[in-house]
Structure 1
């Protein structure tokens, strides 16, 4: 990050120390017929790949990794990776709990009922990973080199799938390529973008409204910069951010004091939490005059949403949830 006060929106994750240009875009095929794969959108997903063969891709750190041509046993270590593979119609054999949760995220719960949990977010239990017998591990934005080494001893096909500046679409395309499903990934994104545009155009008097997107932490609120996941979805819908929140970046601000709470105001206010302490802090401040004086609150335009969706790095399924949440709120008025 460029300033000492900026915080990653995905604590407790550690920032990836790589050039922003590397990112998930580096998940391009570099071996096994790779000349044509530089334009992998044009390549039939499984064309020319024999069952049991391998392909070479570069992960989000630029590391070249051999992966199965058609992986069958995938373990995901973040909910973003899980979201991505489910959107591609692939059922993993091992998953981790959601961000800030002791269970898989609620919005994916119905899709993962019978899948083994191998640990918490970016904290896999190695014995459980071994028991899953993976042929591909998607390690999200993990930067614990010792842990990555252990995972690569289980299977060398272990990929870091996200860099700090990657949006969900970039990371998702990289995962799609790693799974040899780039065409499918592009279609998922195209379908999402069409849905977001149509939803935004159907908001009537709230079309183009300013939406404030805030995560409430135990020590106060933080508003999201406009390249953060949920902010990007709102922009895809043609909505706007309040002027003081119209900042590039995919982070959130430091927690604001009660004296600066006006910074979170907007036509609409979407509030999320990730912990029980954050939820308690939000409930406490909602009784205070400074909160009640916000324009969005006075208009009954303050909406509580699921932080395990809105305050993460996102994915195609989560994007659909955010679109639906916004439509539900803005269409009700």
Structure 2
């Protein structure tokens, strides 16, 4: 596997090989007329039924038709935010997991009997690979790219097909909190009330778990994974996995040199493994539980105080690990209780 790129979402066993974008601007522009195919009839009573919705995001401001019906999601986990708001996309982007229609169990009820096109089934590369021709053929009236990176050129090509909303403004790509992603989806879909309700429900659950475990407050914690020999990939404080720990009361330290200035994390060599020695060390390895044996055989691993204290915790359940990695408004309820149940006994020792 190649060198990990911290500003990209790292899925299990990713080779992170950047793919070339094959479609020229001229071919995409030819599809630009499709952006006028949206239906109307907005869901916000404060706005005239046919009024477009102005949505601000990282790449600018987009006028979205009221009540878009044919929504395509090109972000790796965007389908969750859309489904949470009662909209079933016509196409989604596959991250990992090998579930039907790229929808994990926590979101399958919201999907219902819909059968969205999967734009890149089984071909996750760790970097966006926008299928412009395939997207255009679907005749979308809205394209969402919330949990992804999107260059100006990519944004321009997608916008030539249909109104496109990029990642949330004010955050590095791949590092926007799940709340911001959900709210931006709500704005784009004209369902701001539903978005706020969904956010409040998850925040209430996280806060209730935090109150139930006062022993978490102020303790330092790190999230690590294993993707390549010779290094552990450590999640930065801004990564959604780390943000959940912060929500539970933990402090995710920012003093590891490799992580400074990184969006979602960076490799820390095995020779520097002592940098991982914190109150709690969580290994998110559900996509490949066999990595536990590799980690436990590393020379410095048994010398860490966190290991000696029994607070090096392996999250091996594929569903729990996946829900934590996705970090969405639909997935988080699956992981909050499970994480707390694994961590709490180790801090009681």
**TM norm. shorter chain > 0.5:** yes
Distance in 2 of aligned mates of 1:172 and 1:115: 20
Query: Using a 3 Å threshold, how does the CA distance of structure 1 residues 270 and 13 change in structure 2: closer, same or farther?
Result: farther
The correspondence of residues 164-203 of structure 1 with structure 2, limited to 5 A, is: 164=172, 166-203=176-213
Hey, what does 2:55 align to over in structure 1?
57
Q: Which residue in the other structure is 2:119 paired with?
A: 118
Runs of 5+ in structure 2 lacking a partner? 11-15, 19-41
CA contact (8 A) 2:216 2:248 kept: no
* Residue deviations 1:261-308 (CA, integer Å, cap 9, x gap): 1222333322125976xx766542322342233344341641225565
Question: With structure 2 as the length reference, what TM-score do the two structures score?
Answer: 0.70
What is the alpha-carbon distance in structure 1 between the residues aligned to residue 205 and residue 247 of structure 2? 9
Cα distance in 1 between the residues matched to 2:204 and 2:267 = 35
Contact between 2:58 and 2:166, CA under 8 Å: does it hold in 1? yes
Q: Paired residue for 1:151?
A: 158
2:327 is equivalent to residue 327 of structure 1: no
> Residues 234, 142 of structure 1: CA spacing in aligned structure 2 closer, same or farther, 3 A cutoff?
closer
Distance of 2:149 and 2:328 partners within structure 1 = 17
Q: Are the counterparts in 1 of residues 222 and 252 from structure 2 also a CA contact under 8 Å?
A: yes
Between the aligned partners of 1:109 and 1:96, the Cα distance in structure 2 is: 14
In structure 2, how many angstroms separate the alpha carbons of the residues matched to 1:188 and 1:249? 31
Cα distance in 1 for partners of 2:5, 2:133 equals 36
Give, in whole Å, the separation in 1 of the partners of 2:66 and 2:235: 38
Cα deviation for residue 178 of structure 1 reads: 1.2
Q: CA deviation at 1:50?
A: 4.3
Distance 1:245 1:190, change over 3 A: farther
**Structure 1 pair 250/317, CA: closer, same or farther in 2 (3 Å)?**
farther
> 1:109–1:170: structure 2 CA closer, same or farther, 3 Å change rule?
closer
Q: In structure 2, how many angstroms separate the alpha carbons of the residues matched to 1:242 and 1:58?
A: 31
In 1: Cα distance, 2:292 partner to 2:337 partner: 23
Match of 2:76 in 1: 79
Give me the TM-score of the superposition, normalised by structure 1: 0.73
SS of equivalent residue, structure 1 residue 303: strand
* 1:1-333 equivalent positions in 2, closer than 5 A: 7-8=6-7, 10=9, 46-62=44-60, 64-98=61-95, 104=102, 106=104, 108=106, 110-111=108-109, 112=111, 114-119=115-120, 122-140=128-146, 141-155=148-162, 157-162=163-168, 163-164=171-172, 166-203=176-213, 209-219=219-229, 220-241=231-252, 244=255, 251-273=263-285, 283-298=293-308, 299=310, 301-305=312-316, 308-311=322-325, 314-331=327-344
Aligned partner of residue 77 in structure 2, secondary structure: helix
**In the superposition, relative to structure 1, how do residues 215 and 310 fare at CA in structure 2: closer, same or farther (>3 Å)?**
farther
CA distance in 2, matches of 1:318, 1:115: 19
Contact 1:55–1:69, Cα closer than 8 Å, also in 2: yes
CA–CA separation in structure 1 for the residues paired with 2:328 and 2:50: 28
Contact 1:226 1:248 in 2 (8 A): no
Q: What 5-or-longer segments of structure 1 have no aligned partner?
A: 15-43
- How far apart, in 1, do the equivalents of 2:287 and 2:189 lie? 33
Tell me how large the CA RMSD over aligned residues is: 3.5
